[in-house]
């Protein structure tokens, strides 16, 4: 009989850990909700630090498996969705009617003309994938105008099979809004806010008006990043952290929190970590992968589902970015390529990162996830009311 030694015990423990990690990787692939639900339960028993180490081990194991499969030719480079050989033509838009005044009456005020056509130039691709960097019409308003395009980029030379999806909204024709979840963010200041339904206001839940919905930021316990609605602060702002918000008058703002932003009268605002990009420059911290910067519990070097929001130089375009197996540094390179001036990471992990384009299905709304991998999730979570905060886009 073999004598039990400390070395043997160590080998057994490492083997068990690897088997558990492999099992967890398979479980996450088959049941995405198992990860966040199980992690929340485990945090209550074992604490944040233990769960962070476990999650890092699971995602690192999965990443190594993916890289080995690519090296063996099992995993292939491919576009994340079907790409047209050439961009579709813009839909025909019926011009606004011109009303001639009736004799004896004053002139009839003319309707406001729609903004010029929304067009984007193709981006420089990182790989030779067909369609990479080519913007294609994606979301249309009730008049048939393109208000959002989408494309994908593959910015990681170590993982060329990874694609980051990008959606670009025309903020001249669309507006970003924010919804508090029924539970998150936590109201630390006991701010006087209306009942938290976690739902989009009825006025905006209409075919042709509601255009898209997507995930918000981290839970309050994972960063204590500031949040405010209707000039009431739920979680105090943290100086220097990237903030997106809608003033009560004026256009959408994004920037690092400072005295300038602090003096704004807000309809809503939300922080979520340091800037990824600020004033057109990638934050050097994107190469510093400390968990406190980029993952709350996971550090920035862990390849995992990540999402981000950005605006261009004149704040006329809003970008949403997301993808699996992303590092913060590669996400930053892709966003700079797209023309981002300021950018903020949003939530991470496969279950929390979610984007739906909203399509009209008669007088009802249908959801169309950005990635096929998002279809296994609850893709009507935002339409039914949700526990976490999120953003939505409506036509002006």
In this prediction, residue 85 has a pLDDT band, given cuts at 50, 70 and 90, of low
3-state helix, strand, coil in the chain (%, to 5): 25, 25, 50
In this prediction, residue 44 has a pLDDT band, given cuts at 50, 70 and 90, of low
Contact yes or no for 275/342 (Cβ under 8 A):
yes
Query: CA-CA distances (angstroms) from residue 117 to 145, 256, 313, 320, 387?
Result: 8, 31, 18, 20, 37
> What are the DSSP E strand ranges found in 66-224?
136-140, 146-153, 164-170, 174-179, 210-215
By three-state DSSP, how is residue 359 classified? strand
Query: CA-CA distances (angstroms) from residue 65 to 4, 133, 174, 249?
Result: 31, 27, 41, 50
DSSP structural state of residue 287: G
Locate the domains of the chain by residue range: 6-71, 136-395
> Please, what's the b/e burial string for 380-389 (b: 16 or more CB within 10 A of its CB; e: otherwise)?
ebbbeebebb
Contact yes or no for 179/389 (Cβ under 8 A):
yes
Is residue 300 pLDDT above 80, yes or no?
A: no
**What's the confidence (pLDDT) of residue 119?**
93
Is residue 381 pLDDT above 60, yes or no?
A: yes
Nearest in space to 396 (alpha carbons), one of 230, 290, 246, 240:
246
DSSP structural state of residue 163: -
Q: Which of 17-31, 65-79, 139-153 has the lowest mean pLDDT?
A: 17-31
Is residue 370 pLDDT above 80, yes or no?
A: yes
Contact yes or no for 178/318 (Cβ under 8 A):
no
**What's the confidence (pLDDT) of residue 12?**
43
Q: What is the pLDDT of residues 92-116, one digit of tens each?
A: 333 333 344 445 555 545 556 666 8
**pTM metric for this prediction:** 0.84
What is d(CA 238, CA 344) in angstroms, rounded to the nearest whole number? 14
Residue 49 has phi, psi (to 5 degrees) of -60, -45
Is residue 169 pLDDT above 90, yes or no?
A: yes
* Residue for token pair 């025309």: 170
Q: What is the pLDDT of residues 57-82, one digit of tens each?
A: 888 899 999 999 999 999 999 999 98
% of the chain residues with pLDDT over 70: 76
Q: Which of 247-261, 277-291, 346-360 has the lowest mean pLDDT?
A: 277-291
Helix or strand (DSSP H, E) at 229? strand 227-229
Q: What is the pLDDT of residues 181-229, one digit of tens each?
A: 999 999 999 999 988 999 999 999 999 999 999 999 999 998 999 999 9
Contact yes or no for 47/39 (Cβ under 8 A):
no
Q: What is the pLDDT of residues 322-369, one digit of tens each?
A: 999 999 999 999 999 999 999 999 999 988 999 999 998 888 899 999
φ/ψ bin of 64: left (φ > 0), alpha (ψ from -120 to 50), beta (otherwise)? alpha
**What value does the mean pLDDT take over residues 269-282?**
96
Question: How many CB atoms are closer than 10 A to CB 347?
Answer: 25
């Amino acid at each position: 009989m073999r004598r039990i030694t400390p070395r043997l015990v160590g080998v057994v423990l490492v083997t068990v850990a690897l088997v558990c990690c492999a099992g967890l990787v398979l479980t996450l692939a088959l049941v995405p909700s198992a990860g966040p639900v199980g992690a929340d339960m485990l945090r209550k028993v074992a604490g944040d630090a233990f769960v962070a180490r476990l999650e890092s081990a699971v995602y690192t194991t999965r990443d190594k498996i993916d890289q080995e499969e690519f090296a063996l030719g099992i995993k292939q480079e491919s576009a994340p969705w079907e790409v047209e050989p050439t961009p579709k033509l813009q839909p025909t838009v019926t011009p606004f009617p011109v009303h001639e005044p009736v004799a004896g009456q004053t002139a009839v005020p003319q309707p406001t003309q729609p903004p010029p056509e929304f067009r984007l130039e193709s981006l420089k691709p990182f790989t030779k994938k067909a369609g990479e960097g080519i913007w294609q019409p994606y979301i249309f308003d009730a008049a048939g105008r393109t208000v959002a395009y989408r494309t994908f980029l593959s910015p990681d030379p170590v993982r060329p099979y990874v694609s980051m999806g990008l959606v670009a909204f025309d903020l001249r024709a669309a507006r970003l809004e924010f919804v508090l979840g029924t539970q998150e963010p936590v109201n630390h200041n006991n701010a006087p806010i209306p009942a938290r339904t976690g739902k989009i206001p009825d006025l905006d839940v209409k075919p042709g008006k509601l255009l898209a919905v997507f995930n918000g930021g981290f839970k309050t316990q994972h960063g204590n990043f500031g949040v405010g609605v209707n000039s009431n602060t739920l979680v105090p702002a943290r100086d220097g952290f990237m903030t997106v918000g809608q003033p009560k008058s004026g256009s959408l703002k994004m920037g690092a929190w400072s005295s300038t932003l602090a003096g704004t009268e807000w309809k809503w605002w939300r922080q979520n970590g340091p800037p990824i990009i600020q004033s057109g420059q990638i934050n050097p911290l994107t190469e510093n992968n400390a968990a406190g910067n980029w993952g709350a519990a996971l550090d920035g070097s862990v390849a995992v589902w990540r999402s981000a929001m950005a605006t261009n130089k004149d704040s006329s375009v809003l970008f949403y970015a997301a993808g699996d197996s992303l590092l913060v540094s590669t996400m930053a390179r892709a966003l700079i390529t797209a023309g981002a001036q300021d950018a903020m990471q949003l939530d991470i992990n496969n279950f929390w990162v979610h984007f739906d384009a909203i399509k009209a299905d008669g007088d009802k709304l249908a959801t169309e996830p950005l990635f096929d991998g998002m279809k296994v999730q609850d893709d009507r979570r935002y339409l039914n009311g949700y526990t976490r905060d999120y953003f939505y886009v409506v036509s002006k």
